[in-house]
Structure formats: C-alpha cells, structure tokens
Amino acid sequence: MPQDMPPVGGYGPVQYKRNLPASGLRPGTWLVAMGVVMVYGFYKLGVGIREQNELAREKQWARIHLIPVLQAEEDRDLVRRHLADQAREKELLGENFKVYNSGRYVRPTYAVTPGNVTK
C-alpha cells in the first residue's frame, strides 16, 4: 500500500493565533494623556496658591489700614473712662489728686474685678 504524500505545493498554513482586535489605547498614548492631565492639575494648583496668597495679602493690608480706626476707638473709650473716673473722684474726694506727681498724661491701667464675690 502506497503512503499518502502531501499535496504538491504543500499544505496551507495552520491558523493557531486568535485574531482579536487590540482593546484600548496604546501605553504611550496613556502616558501622554496622564502627563497632560498632571500638567493641567499642577497649573491649576499654582493658580490657586497664587490666588490664596493674594487674598491673604489683601486681608493683611485691610487689617493694617484698620489699625488707626481701632486705635482711635480705643482712645475715645479711654478718654470717656478717664473723664468718668475724674468725675467720680471729684464727687468722692472733692478735688482731683495727681497720683504720679507729674503733669504728663499716664495711660491708666484698668483691672476688671467682679462686683459680688461669694464663697
């Protein structure tokens, strides 16, 4: 019995690989996309930090410009307290005494104490 031989020209190629389409993007594309996202994020972070610094600087300057107004308000309150103290002293003692033996104005120091102390 004769042996079977391959056909003339040989057999056709055997398909052993699966022909599946590549899913998703190539790694290089992902790398570039993530780089763009990170650069945009860092840009927005820098803009936000600059804006926060500007707001903090504006707040500090607002406080600096309010100092004279607050100081004047405190001075008016001190004058009111001083005049009330002088009137109280004149009512109790009959005349005002110079405590520091000086003609110079000395800013008074007030200590607030409770009126009624119970034990």
Does the reported pTM lie above 0.85?
no
Res. 105: pLDDT tops 80: no
Examine the pLDDT at 92 and tell me if it is beyond 90. Answer: no
The residue type at 86: Q
Q: Provide the sign of the torsion angle of the four alpha carbons 27, 33, 36, 42, taken in this order.
A: negative
Each residue's pLDDT tens digit, 3-58: 888 888 989 998 888 888 888 888 899 999 999 999 999 999 999 999 999 999 99
Distance CA 11, CA 22 (A): 30
Residue scoring higher pLDDT (109 or 19): 19
Q: Which of 107, 81, 84, 79 is nearest to 99 (CA)?
A: 107
pLDDT at 109 over 80: no
To the nearest whole number, what is the mean pLDDT of the chain?
Answer: 87
Tokens 């022909």 locate to 19
Q: What is the pLDDT of residue 51?
A: 98
The rounded distance, in Å, linking the Cα atoms of 8 and 6 is: 6
Which amino acid is present at 105?
Y
